[in-house]
Amino acid sequence: MKPLLGISLKVISALVFTLMSATLKTLTTRYPVGEVVFFRSAFALLPLLVWLAWQGDLINSVRTRNLGGHIKRGLIGTAGMYLGFAALSYLPLHDSIAIGYASPLIVVILAAVLLKEKVRAYRWSAVGIGFVGVLIMLSPYLKIETFTGGFDGGPSLGALFALLGAFCSAGAMIQVRRLTATEKTGAIVFYFFILASVLSLFTIFLGWRVPDATDMMLFVVGGILGGIGQILLTQSYRFADTSIIAPFEYTTMIWALLFGWFMFGDLPTSTMLTGATIVAGTGLFIVWREHQLGLMRAQELKAASPKPVG
């Protein structure tokens, strides 16, 4: 385990994914979500194949002993991708990403239940406070009409998509963690992109549009960024526990605010910033607490180790 390396890879992947989301957001209002998912997944294979070829082990890298695990991860991840792009079509970039902050909190819970990772009282308390922050972020979209007469237009529907996408992302993170025990990074990412491309291709019967040259370039750029981000993300889970890496997803808010402001002229509300700050703060507390526990464990091991004779 190399926690600092895992955290660094996670932070870089967060930046790359935010840039990808900003790029593809410009397309979600003009093209069906299935078409966006297809191009994002298909073009993401380009950096992956280049990376595997550079390693000199292309064939062996995509061999698998757990095809069922890849299918499960692909189904969950593709569902999350659909929901995420659907949310982008209704919400400002920073709102969609901020609501997705529920995902790392859900990961901590799933890591304890499914992976049997030890989660102490401090982290459980932080998760509870974090969900209060999520509710604050959702509050502008939770209007009476949402529960009595349908959704209050597109934004409420987008908020629901973002929240459901967060659940799917958390499930995908847990499945990736399981796969890293036996599978190579290349295989994990390769089979996900293949399955996402195949599943989304079936939506062509629902009516796709032929992109012009400019939009096709954006599809290519978005897909390549998605491929690079996925490689970095998958690698990060090899070097640290899921519950340690997950909170660093919050760094995306910095990039989302910058990209949203410069590219779309969107500024977050005080309610959204308040909720996002609470959630990010709980994530940082979790990391600090784990660092302290790590130091304590190291001291205990050092004290318990036999002293050399003579």
Residue-range domain boundaries for the chain: 3-304
pLDDT reported for residue 151: 47
Q: What pLDDT sits at residue 308?
A: 55
Mean pLDDT by 10 residues, the chain (310 residues): 83 92 90 94 93 79 86 93 92 88 82 78 83 86 54 75 92 87 84 93 91 95 92 82 72 84 83 85 73 69 62
Q: DSSP per residue over the chain, as a string?
A: --HHHHHHHHHHHHHHHHHHHHHHHHHHTTS-HHHHHHHHHHHHHHHHHHHHHHHT-HHHHT--S-HHHHHHHHHHHHHHHHHHHHHHHHS-HHHHHHHTTHHHHHHHHHHHHTS-----HHHHHHHHHHHHHHHHHHGGG--HHHHHSS-SHHHHHHHHHHHHHHHHHHHHHHHHHHHTTTS-HHHHHHHHHHHHHHHHHGGGGGT-----HHHHHHHHHHHHHHHHHHHHHHHHTTSS-HHHHGGGGGGHHHHHHHHIIIII-----HHHHHHHHHHHHHHHHHHHHHHHHHHHHHHHHHHHSPPPP-
Strands (E), 178-295: none
pTM for this entry: 0.80
Q: Would you state the pLDDT for residue 237?
A: 75
Question: What pLDDT score was predicted for residue 21?
Answer: 92
Radius of gyration of the chain (CA): 20
